[in-house]
Amino acid sequence: MKDDLQPIWVDAPEGVVAAAETAREAGWLALDTEADSLHSYFHKTCLVQLTASDANFIIDPLALAPADLDPLWQVVEDPGIPTLMHGSDYDIRVLDRDYDTRIRGLVDTQIMAQILGEPKTGLAALLEKELGLALDKKHQRADWGKRPLTASQIVYAAADTAYLEDLARRLRQRLEDLGRWGWAVEEFRRLEQVRHRPAEPNPLAFERVKGVRALRGRARDRAFSLFQWRERQAQELDIPPFKVLGNKPLVEMAENPPKDKGRLAKVNGLGPRFVRRWGDRVLRTVGRPDPAPPWKKMPRQSEPGAGVVKRQKRLAAVRDRVASELAIEPGLVCAKNCLFEIASHQPKCASRADLESAGLTGWRLEVLGSGFIEALGEG
């Protein structure tokens, strides 16, 4: 990997303006973000990396007001200026959540690689194969919310966008040679519509902890109360819940509640420091737990009819054959839920228009349409 990226640190509004102007003049930009999802409870955008022309900007949103980044988002939202990203789904949701930003003109190199049938579509693997570059991965799990960042971290962050333009150019040429560039563009436009959706409050979230669903009675109450206590502490300290209390000791204490600090310290995964900090509160929690919400039995989904199952199998066989011919993952060619929708569509799909109404569109309809109609006509 190059060691001359010379990233430009931006922590003032005028720096954002300069980065945005550079991107507008270049007519393209490469974009990435870094968040602190592994290190905080309330996730936030901690870095915005931008490359345009030969300049690599590292923007520090923690030092800026949200409105200070508006000049950049105006460029990102211009459909005439391509925004190059890699594995953009998460970043699109983060930017929507934190800045109400809608990316237009998206070009995603991971999507391009998937449509090419690349077996490894991570950025590091693609850069090594296409450009002969080896990315340093030592900061993959770094806490990007800490300041100051080291020089090594800043260079690492810059590398996520510094080579995307070269990579995208190579991948696009390969797609055009195969006649698949239009397929990629379809996927880019679909991905631009992704939005952040806040998680719905769920009083039964504690049952996601492995082992809790097997608990009954007071043990279940204790698991619920420990889970709620852990959430409150994590929110108060803005740290991930597992850094307060791991899942295994939570379940162990729910099943066998410690009676005193000595026994609490012997719980696997805990120790003297935990006991000093939270011992009294945890002992009160397991000693007098709140009643857990009643367990809800999920409604049983009706089984599809024999005819639907047969049609779905025939469709899957066609999908798998086409995917093999294209050297693309079958799930990318047509997802299982789409196969089911087509198989269960009423009236039975007998034309390309019917397939479109069942959700098969664009390049997928192009490569699968005739085979699906034939398979569905077999009875």
Retrieve residue 324's tokens. Answer: 């093999």
Whether the pLDDT of residue 120 is over 60: the answer is yes
pLDDT at 337: 95
pLDDT single digits (tens) 202-260: 999 999 999 999 999 999 999 999 999 999 999 999 999 999 999 999 999 999 999 99
Q: Is the Cβ–Cβ distance between 141 and 38 less than 8 Å?
A: yes
Give the pairing of strands 8-10 and 83-85.
unpaired
For residue 56, list its beta bridge partners.
51
pLDDT at 94: 96
pLDDT at 348: 84
| Residue 105 confidence class, pLDDT cut points 50, 70, 90 | very high
Q: Is the Cβ–Cβ distance between 365 and 355 less than 8 Å?
A: yes
pLDDT at 379: 61
Question: Domains (ranges, CATH) in the chain?
Answer: 8-191 (3.30.420.10), 205-287 (1.10.150.80), 306-376 (1.10.150.80)
- Give the pLDDT mean for 28-43: 95
Whether the pLDDT of residue 1 is over 50: the answer is no
Give the pairing of strands 45-52 and 106-108.
unpaired
pLDDT single digits (tens) 153-177: 999 999 999 999 999 999 999 999 9
pLDDT at 372: 96
Q: How far apart are CA 204 and CA 213, in angstroms?
A: 10
- Name the region of 269 (left: φ>0; alpha: ψ -120 to 50; beta: rest): left
- Give the pLDDT mean for 111-115: 98
pLDDT at 140: 87
pLDDT at 302: 76
- What's the half-sphere exposure (Cβ side, CA atoms, 13 Å) at 304? 16
pLDDT single digits (tens) 14-35: 999 999 999 999 999 999 999 9
pLDDT at 296: 76
Identify the residue with better confidence: 189 or 4. 189
Q: What value does the mean pLDDT of the chain take?
A: 95
pLDDT at 170: 98
pLDDT single digits (tens) 332-347: 999 999 999 999 987 7
pLDDT at 378: 78
